[in-house]
Chains A and B, each alone.
Chain A
Amino acid sequence: MAVIELSGVSRRYDQGPPALDDVTISVEAGEALAILGPSGSGKSTMLNLIAGLDRPDAGTVTVAGVRLDKLGEAATARYRRAHVGMIFQFFNLLDDLTVADNVVLPAQLAGMGRADARKRAASLLEALGIARHSGAYPGRLSGGQRQRVAVARALMNKPTLLLADEPTGALDSASGEDVRKLLIELNGEGQTLVLVTHDEKLAAACATRTVRLVDGRIATDTGPGIRPLGPHLAASGVPHGADGRTETARFDADGRRGVTL
């Protein structure tokens, strides 16, 4: 079942060349899609369109059954609350809020009760190993810890999709490895993941499918499949088959797979 469907999507900024040019792609629930390509190839534009942060000039974008190109701003915001968790290269945490307050924010904006939101945030922080930092301000955490906080925030509303824009781009190698494992683990538990990166190693480690963009067009697409068991996964502890491959996780009729986190 396709969670993401882009059909004939084009996007052009001002009078420049198209950032995306007639892109058609379908992503199944539970896939881990890596979007690769050089700078200016349209990776971030594609991610923004899937996240509902931007609208196409042509074509349709459907995510979890919702036609994003038809939505107004308020409906798009509600769509994001329900279906999208985002993590950014520079974390985009709010510096004047504590870790816990950052994490509960999406749930509070969605109207979740205070106690429930705090409870879920606490369990997420615990699961991600940063519970002891819940009262700290982001500025006092390491890059890896901050990205874990960002992941916790992204997962707060149990999103259909986890979108990651260069999630290890601002991290040292140890922290990057840490985040890599986390993403693999999440996808292993059924979380659909769309990853935009320059980092071939990250893509190879995390993705079950890789799309390469060049000048706004899909140059190569490995198609839905399985994540090769590389050294990263082997060390991650993520469950995998005896043949050394991990199958794309199963999902429910809504395209959601409740993560255990």
Chain B
Amino acid sequence: MSSLSKVVRSGVGRRRVQTVVIGLATFMAVAAAVLAGSLLVASTAPFDRGFTDQHGAHLSALFDGTTVTESQAAATAAASGVAESSGPFQVVTQTPNLGEGGGGDGAFELQPLTIAGRAQPTSGIDKVSLSDGHWPTSDTEIVLTEQIPLDSKLIFKALPGRPTLTVVGHARSVSRTADAWVLPGAIASLTSAGTKPGYQMLYRFTASATVSDMDTAKAAVVAAAPSGSMLGSQSWLTVKEAADRTAALFVPFLIAFGLLGLVMAMLSVGGVVAGAVSAATFRIGVLKAIGFTPSQVVRAYLLQALIPATVGIVLGVVGGNLLTIPVLAQTDVVYETAPSVVQPWVDALVVVAALGVVSLTALVAAARAGRLRTVDALAVGRAPAAGRGRFAASLSARLPLPRPVTLGLAQPFARPARMTAMLATVVFGAASVALAIGLTSSLNLIETARSHDKAQIMVSPMKMGPPEGGEAMGPPVNQQGPPPGPFDEGGPDPAAVTSAIATVTGTKASYGVLSAPATVAGVAAEVDVLAYRGDPRWAGFEMTEGRWYATAGEAILPTPMLKATGAKIGDTITLTVNGHNISVRVVGEVFSTQNEGMEVFTDLTTLTAVIPKVTPTEYYVGLTDGTDATAYANALETALTPFSLHANVNPGGHSDTLVAISTLTGLLTLILVAVAALGVLNAVVLQTRERVRELGVHKAIGMTPKQSVTVVLASVFLIGLVGGIAGVPAGMALHGVMVPAMGNSAGVRLPAALLDVYHPWVMALLALGGLVIAILGALMPAGWAARIRTATALRTE
């Protein structure tokens, strides 16, 4: 064995703390980098990635089963421009009720589902991804895109024989070709009496990049089918636009967290390797004294760093992949895309980068030590560089604090570079926490303002469940808002309904609302007019600009509606509601994303001035604090009996995306805090080991274990405090950039109130977050410092 390899082996084997610290730092840095890199990849064009993975359909077309045969539908695959096709698949649209296992008793009606009959998910075009469960294996099983629990029963009450299907899986089609899938044989039992299922064909075209390409391709398919037989179609460009809008909302958020993770990982591993090699300067002096050349020294220490680093890298890749899987699962929910996996090239890139960072930092530190004169290296190893930290030590000794505290406070100043690296790590950690808290708060406010649905009770002509005393169920959130109102006949007397509501104990506030479809000159899409009886502002509305409507004829519009009409505050627009032209003056811009923001909010009197009989179709009730919503709903149900209205506990405000983003934020914050704390841990371990002899002296002259702990914890106190104080504004600044960017990506202007989430007490608590990170990181070395025997510490070189 050569002398070099002996040195390396003994260095790795005997300097176990350094070896373990390098391995640990590399492990967590690589794990964090794999996660961060995967997040960045997942956030890069998530729709396109999912579309490619699933071999998505450029066009999905539905043909009328009563006018087209299966072979005629299949023959459209020969149309000009079609490169590939799948189908025909039989398709029906049915509305099931939720039965046992899903929290329902069969009374709760779900949304209508487009159900496709497919034997298997992964052949041809639109390879549907199963996120859990399995593909149906019998005609009584169904797979859904909605997250209704597995084993739930769906009852199709309107169909002959009331077929009941069991939910056996959840799947996602990036092309959004269906809401549910069954085996082809099950379609017959799901077909209404006297009708035939439609045929769905999926196509990929030779040219599909533009709207024009798609129009041409679709025209060719239409021409290839019997005239008038295509009931509808969906272009991948339309799906992509909607998906990109959702994804765009979250891309800045995930990219920021990814970058934070990468920077912290690099800081951590670089600092630790440099510190570990620098700590070996005395040994380097000894090696040189016995004849090692500078280049042998460099090689020896490079290898000593690379051996534990390689072990850390291998374990880090494994750990990173394990860590990334649940995070990506949440990301997929947010992006509504196909299940993501850690890309092998991300692993490879992280491995190469980690080896590069370790090699470079070890090389620089070892080269510097190798260049030292032997006598200087020996001297440096024996004692800290003269003068370093003395001013801080002298100053802290005069502070009116217990001596262990002042001893610790001064320690980091002896190693300014390490202190700076530690500080940066804590700043990033504290910034991440501040950002995460701000984001979560803003997202909650955004969700409240977006759905403006804080009312606990919803009154409507429909009974939506749940069974008495059961968990609240309601319409899916993307179906919020009342159904179109009866314009001509009117409903129950609004004043009487409102009075009935007011008589029930626990009522705090209520309002009625009528949703009316309308058109606006120059706007292609249908617009929702929401006309309120009573003041609904308590339900969570937030104004971006201007004011709330005050009188009949005034209205407020969301950003997309303002953009679509080209109107500004103060302008007048004309709505056509049920054939009646109604002019309204825009007095404010309100934050709302429902119906893609194509909404007009006004007072009911704006409509009754032109259509006198219209009445609210739904009422919303806010309850006084402490009122039990279910008990209140039961009481109100009785009071509303004369009006044929039903009281439902309002499930509004629940959003899978919000839950996913909150989970993701929490998970990522925890990971970043752990990375930061581990960065501190590594640095403090090195610092404590370097000062072990000093620790021995302290103990020899009477320092108790508790005082030893105090010294170590105090050594990170200032770093934690300053890091927290610096990190919070950094996180707030990032929040101030990111949240509006998320809003812009989604095409909405966010009200300032939604950004104003950092209250003074929150900031004070967040500033302490840096301290928590630092203390967490220092706890283990502090415990070690308390436990080490004095004699052992005094003997340690």
- Which residues of chain B are near A74, meaning CB under 8 Å? 704-706
> Hey, what's the 0/1 contact readout for B383-405 against A, CB within 8 Å counting as 1?
11010111001100100101110
Contact with A along B772-797 (1 / 0, CB 8 A): 00000000000000110111001000
- Residues in chain A near residue B787, CB distance under 8 A: 73
Query: Which of A28-36, A97-105, A201-209, A234-242 lies on the face that meets chain B?
Result: A97-105
Is A109 in contact with B389, judged by CB distance below 8 angstroms?
no
Bound-state CA distance A86–B787 (Å) is: 21
Given that A54-B791, A97-B393, A105-B403 are contacting pairs, would A78 and B701 also be in contact in the complex, using a CB cutoff of 8 Å?
no
Per-residue A-contact encoding for B700-723, CB less than 8 Å = 1, 0 else: 111111110000000000000000
A53: chain B residues within 8 A (beta carbon) = 699-700, 789-791, 794
Given the complex of chains A and B, what is the CA–CA distance between A137 and B386 in angstroms? 10
Residues of chain B at interface, number, CB under 8 A: 35
Tell me if B196 is interfacial: C-beta within 8 Å of chain A: no
Partner of B397, one of A92, A97, A110: A97
Across-interface contacts of B7 in A (CB, < 8 A): none
Whether A94 is near chain B, meaning CB under 8 Å from some CB there, is yes
- A98 and B389 CA atoms in complex are apart in Å by 12
Are the C-beta atoms of B400 and A114 separated by less than 8 Å? yes
Chain A residues whose C-beta falls within 8 Å of the C-beta of B383 in the assembled complex: 95, 139
* Minimum C-beta distance from A94 to chain B (A): 6
- Bound state CA distance, A114 and B700, in angstroms? 21
A77 within 8 A of B: yes
Instruction: Please judge, given known A-B contacts A54-B791, A109-B403, A110-B702, whether A94 and B697 are in contact too, CB under 8 Å.
Output: yes
- From residue A10, how far is it (CB to closest CB) to chain B in Å? 16
User: Does A51 interact with chain B (Cβ within 8 Å)?
Assistant: yes
A106 CA to B707 CA, complexed, in Å: 12
Contact present for A137 and B694 (CB under 8 Å): no
- Check: B698 CB closer than 8 A to any chain A CB: yes
Within 8 A of B (CB), among A163-208: none
What is the chain B residue whose CB lies nearest that of A52? B790
Q: A86 touches which one: B410, B693, B700, B786 (CB < 8 A)?
A: B700
Given known A95-B383, A106-B702, A109-B403, contact A101–B697 (CB-CB < 8 A): no
* In the complex, chain A residues whose CB is within 8 Å of the CB of B693: 92
Q: Which residue, of B390, B402, B702, B704, has the highest number of chain A Cβ atoms within 10 A?
A: B702
A54 and B789 form a contact (CB under 8 A):
yes
Contact (A48, B702) CB under 8 Å given A94-B697, A101-B397, A114-B400: no
Residues of A within 8 A of B389 (CB): 96
B144 within 8 A of A: no
Residue in contact with A81 in the complex, picked from B403, B702, B789, CB distance below 8 Å: B702
Complex partner residue of A77 from B388, B397, B696, B699, CB under 8 angstroms: B699
Query: In the complex, what residues of B have CB within 8 A of residue A96's CB?
Result: 384, 388-390, 393, 410, 414
Least CB distance from B397 to A in Å reads 5
Give 1 or 0 for each of B368-393: 1 = CB within 8 Å of chain A CB: 00000000000000011010111001
Q: Does A153 have its Cβ within 8 Å of any Cβ on chain B?
A: yes
Q: Smallest CB–CB gap between A150 and chain B, Å?
A: 10
- Tell me, yes or no, whether A123 is within 8 Å of chain B by CB: no
CA distance A109 to B702 in the complex (A): 7
Smallest beta-carbon distance A29→chain B, Å: 21
Rounded to whole angstroms, the CA-CA distance of A94 and B696 in the bound complex is 11
Kindly supply a per-residue 1/0 record for chain A positions 133-150, scoring 1 wherever the CB is within 8 Å of any chain B CB and 0 otherwise.
000010100000000000
Report the Cα distance A15→B693, complex, angstroms.
25
Q: What B residues does A157 contact at CB under 8 A?
A: 702
* Shortest Cβ distance from residue A167 to the other chain B in the assembled complex, whole angstroms: 14
Q: Does A108 contact B (CB under 8 A)?
A: yes
Provide the bound-state CA to CA distance between A217 and B394, in Å: 46
**Nearest Cβ distance between residue B585 and chain A, in whole angstroms?**
74
8 Å CB contact of A109 from B390, B394, B404, B789 = B404
Instruction: List B contacts of A256 (CB < 8 A).
Output: none
Compute how far the CA of A98 lies from the CA of B698 in the bound complex, rounded to whole angstroms: 15
Given that A53-B790, A101-B394, A101-B397 are contacting pairs, would A86 and B384 also be in contact in the complex, using a CB cutoff of 8 Å? no
Nearest CB in chain A: distance from B559 CB, A: 61
Interface flags for B115-144 (1: CB within 8 Å of A; 0: not) read 000000000000000000000000000000
B390 & A137 in contact (Cβ 8 Å cutoff): yes
Which residues of A are found within 8 Å of B410, using beta-carbon distances?
Answer: 96
Residues of A within 8 A of B694 (CB): 94
Minimum CB–CB distance for B508 against chain A, Å: 59
A78 near B394 with CB under 8 A, answer no
- Minimum C-beta distance from A110 to chain B (A): 6
**How far does the alpha carbon of A5 sit from the alpha carbon of B408 in the complex, in Å?**
37
Indicate if the CB atoms of B794 and A108 lie closer than 8 Å: no
A73 contacts B700, C-beta separation under 8 Å? no
Contacts of B706 in A (CB 8 A): 74
Q: How far is the CA of A84 from the CA of B414 in the complex (A)?
A: 30
In the complex, what residues of A have CB within 8 A of residue B701's CB? 80-81, 86, 105-106, 109, 153-154
Q: Are A139 and B386 in contact, CB atoms less than 8 angstroms apart?
A: yes
B794 touches A98 (CB 8 A): no
User: What sequence of 0s and 1s flags, for each residue 71-91 of chain A, a beta carbon within 8 Å of any chain B beta carbon?
Assistant: 001100110110010101000
Chain A positions within 8 Å of B384 at CB level:
95-96
Is the pair A77, B393 in contact by a Cβ cutoff of 8 Å?
A: no
Chain B hits for A86, CB < 8 A: 700-701
Task: Give Cα A77 to B393, complex, Å.
Answer: 23
Q: What's the Cα separation between A52 and B703 when bound, in Å?
A: 12
Q: How far is the CA of A95 from the CA of B386 in the complex (A)?
A: 8
Separation of A48 and B795 alpha carbons in the complex (Å):
12
B700: chain A residues within 8 A (beta carbon): 51, 53, 80, 86, 92
**Residues of A118-132 contacting chain B, CB below 8 A:** none
Inter-chain CA distance A81–B707, complex, in Å, is 13
* A residues near B707, Cβ cutoff 8 Å: 77, 109
How far is A9 from B791 in the complex, measured between Cα atoms in Å? 17
Task: State in angstroms the CA–CA spacing of A114 and B401 once bound together.
Answer: 10
Pairwise interchain contact B786-A73, C-beta atoms closer than 8 A: yes
CA distance A73 to B787 in the complex (A): 8
Q: Fill in one digit per residue for A47-76: 1 if any B CB lies within 8 Å of its CB, else 0.
A: 010011110000000000000000001100
A101 to B394, CA, bound (A): 8
Of chain B, the residue at the smallest CB distance from A85 is B701
**A77 to B703, Cβ gap below 8 A?**
yes
Q: How far is the CA of A138 from the CA of B509 in the complex (A)?
A: 77
Contacting residues, chain A, for B789 (C-beta < 8 A): 53-54
For the complex, what is the distance from the CA of A149 to the CA of B476, rounded to whole Å?
79
* Cα separation A51 to B700 with both chains bound (whole Å): 8
> Which of A77, A96, A97 is packed against the most chain B CB atoms within 10 Å?
A96
Q: With the chains together, A114 CA to B403 CA distance in Å?
A: 10
Verify B704–A73 contact, CB threshold 8 A: yes
Give 1 or 0 for each of B608-645: 1 = CB within 8 Å of chain A CB: 00000000000000000000000000000000000000
Chain A residues, CB < 8 A from B400: 114
- Residues of chain A lying within 8 A (CB to CB) of residue B696: 92
A77/B704 contact (C-beta < 8 A), A92-B697, A96-B384 known? yes
Cα–Cα distance between A97 and B404 once the two chains are bound (Å): 13
List the interface of chain A (C-beta within 8 A of B). 48, 51-54, 73-74, 77-78, 80-81, 84, 86, 88, 92, 94-98, 101, 105-106, 108-110, 114, 137, 139, 153-154, 157
30 A-B pairs with CB atoms under 8 Å apart are A52-B790, A54-B790, A77-B702, A77-B707, A78-B702, A80-B699, A84-B702, A92-B794, A94-B694, A94-B697, A95-B383, A96-B388, A96-B390, A96-B410, A97-B393, A97-B394, A97-B397, A98-B394, A98-B397, A101-B394, A105-B403, A106-B702, A108-B402, A108-B403, A109-B403, A109-B702, A109-B703, A109-B704, A109-B707, A154-B701
| B interface residue numbers (CB < 8 A to A) | 383-384, 386, 388-390, 393-394, 397, 400, 402-404, 410, 414, 693-694, 696-707, 786-787, 789-791, 794
Nearest 6 pairs of A and B residues by beta carbon:
A81-B702, A108-B403, A77-B704, A53-B791, A53-B790, A106-B701
Beyond A81-B702, A139-B386, list 4 extra A-B contacts (CB 8 Å): A53-B699, A53-B700, A77-B703, A94-B697
